[in-house]
Amino acid sequence: MIELLKQPWPWYVAGAIVGLTVPALLILGNKHFGISANFRHACAACLPANIKFFKYDWKKEVWNLFFVGGIIIGAFIASHFLSNPAPIQVNPKLVEELKDYGINDYSKLLPSEIYNFKSLLSLRGLILLVGGGFLVGFGARYAGGCTSGHSIMGLSNLQKPSLIATISFMVGGFIMANLLLPIIMKL
């Protein structure tokens, strides 16, 4: 059984599990799925209540903080006990493209050539890690939710703002991956 868990799950199994999360949350407690709102809940729990944005009953959403805690614990368990020691399998065409960017290490999920403290102190690392992190956080707040909230929950509820947000996420990802990333990686 453990060996079965160590293998990558097919998209149709993992997708079905994620897809069934939405009706389960709605049926079990009229809860909405999303991750980025947890930052607001955590701040409301930790900061003084005199900040207007954090004046609400965050305790009604405490289940969501446990949900995120479960994601973190699950990731820890999966990475330490269920991980496959074999190198990540990457399409040969993508390997050739990534060589041009200086990425050659496929031993872990994230390329060590980008995700390390030394890279953080370079212009490229500053743009990708700090700038990208800021833009993701700002975008999630500006769009009224993150990709999981809009693309999974919002689309399943047929919400037009979620469709617009999801299309924007996809277009932004295509622009970044195909136009901006090649320029940034050469810095």
Question: What are the tens digits of pLDDT across the range 69-99?
Answer: 999 999 898 888 877 777 788 899 999 989 9
Residue with tokens 């900040």: 51
Q: Among 11, 10, 22, which residue's Cα sits nearest to residue 155?
A: 22
CA–CA dist 93, 91 (Å, integer) = 5
Q: What is the mean pLDDT of the chain?
A: 87
Tally of residues, the chain: 187
Tokens standing for residue 3: 């060996």
- Residue 8, CA distances (Å) to 11, 31, 89, 95, 159 in order: 9, 29, 11, 20, 32
Q: Tell me the per-residue pLDDT of 11-40, one tens digit each, with 9 for 90 and over.
A: 898 889 888 888 888 898 888 878 888 888
Considering only residues 7 and 26, tell me which one the structure prediction assigns the higher pLDDT.
26
Percent of all residues in the chain with a pLDDT value above 70, rounded to a whole number: 99
Q: Are 88 and 107 in contact (CB under 8 A)?
A: yes
- Residue 123, CA distances (Å) to 118, 119, 173 in order: 11, 8, 21
What mean pLDDT comes out for the span 103-123?
87
CA–CA dist 171, 68 (Å, integer) = 27
Tokens standing for residue 82: 């269920």
Cα 52 vs. chain centroid, distance in angstroms? 28
* pLDDT at residue 79, rounded to an integer: 83
